[in-house]
Amino acid sequence: MLDCIEFCRLDMAVTMALMTRQHLLTYIYLLVYISLSSGVILYNKWVLSTLYFNFPFPITLTMIHMAFSGGVAFFLIRVLKVVSPIKMTLHIYATCVVPISAFFAASLWFGNTAYLYISVAFIQMLKALMPVATFLVAVTCGTEKLRCDVFWNMVLVSVGVVISSYGEIHFNVLGTVYQVTGIVAEALRLVLTQVLLQKKGLTLNPITSLYYIAPCSFAFLFIPWYILEKPEMEDPHMQFNFWVFFSNALCAFALNLSTFLVIGRTGAVTIRVAGVLKDWLLITLSTIIFPESKITGLNIIGYAIALGGVVIYNYLKVRDVCTSQLQSIRDESAKELQTEKKADDAMDNKEETSWNDSVSETHLDEEAPLISSRISHFGVGRKPA
Q: Rounded mean pLDDT of 87-98?
A: 88
pLDDT single digits (tens) 55-76: 999 999 999 999 999 999 999 9
Backbone angles phi, psi at 291, to 5 degrees: -60, -25
Predicted confidence (pLDDT) at residue 10 exceeds the cutoff of 60:
no
pLDDT of the residue at 319:
79
User: How many CB atoms neighbour CB 143 within 10 A?
Assistant: 14
Predicted confidence (pLDDT) at residue 288 exceeds the cutoff of 80:
yes
Q: Report whether 291 contacts 283 (CB < 8 A).
A: no
Residue 105 — pLDDT band, cuts 50, 70, 90? very high
* CA triple 69-71-73, angle to 5 deg: 65
Q: Rounded mean pLDDT of 271-284?
A: 81
pLDDT of the residue at 13:
54
pLDDT of the residue at 320:
77
Residue 108 — pLDDT band, cuts 50, 70, 90? very high
Report the alpha-carbon distance of residue 221 to residue 82 in Å, rounded: 28
Report the alpha-carbon distance of residue 244 to residue 178 in Å, rounded: 25
More confident of the two residues 368 and 122: 122
User: How many CB atoms neighbour CB 228 within 10 A?
Assistant: 15
Predicted confidence (pLDDT) at residue 354 exceeds the cutoff of 90:
no
Distances from the Cα of 338 to the Cα of 290, 325, 341, 351, angstroms? 64, 20, 5, 20
pLDDT of the residue at 55:
93
Taking the model in full, what pTM does it have? 0.77
pLDDT single digits (tens) 129-187: 988 898 899 888 888 888 888 888 889 989 999 898 888 888 899 999 999 999 999 99
Q: Rounded mean pLDDT of 110-122?
A: 94
pLDDT of the residue at 348:
59
Longest dimension (CA), the chain: 116
More confident of the two residues 5 and 327: 327
Report the alpha-carbon distance of residue 308 to residue 301 in Å, rounded: 11
More confident of the two residues 255 and 318: 255
Q: Rounded mean pLDDT of 252-271?
A: 74
Q: Rounded mean pLDDT of 232-241?
A: 79
pLDDT of the residue at 185:
95
Mean pLDDT computed over every residue of the chain: 80
Range of 17-31, 123-137, 234-248 with top mean pLDDT: 123-137
Residue 261 — pLDDT band, cuts 50, 70, 90? confident
pLDDT of the residue at 268:
60
Q: Is 210 exposed, middle or buried (0-12, 13-18, 19+ CB in 10 A)?
A: buried
Report the alpha-carbon distance of residue 259 to residue 133 in Å, rounded: 22
Among the residues of the chain, which ranges form H helices? 2-48, 58-74, 90-92, 98-113, 120-126, 130-141, 148-166, 173-192, 206-224, 230-233, 242-265, 268-289, 297-364, 368-377
More confident of the two residues 85 and 178: 178
Q: Considering only 101-115, 176-190, 232-246, 366-380, which range has the smallest mean pLDDT?
A: 366-380
Q: Rounded mean pLDDT of 351-359?
A: 47
Residue 22 — pLDDT band, cuts 50, 70, 90? confident
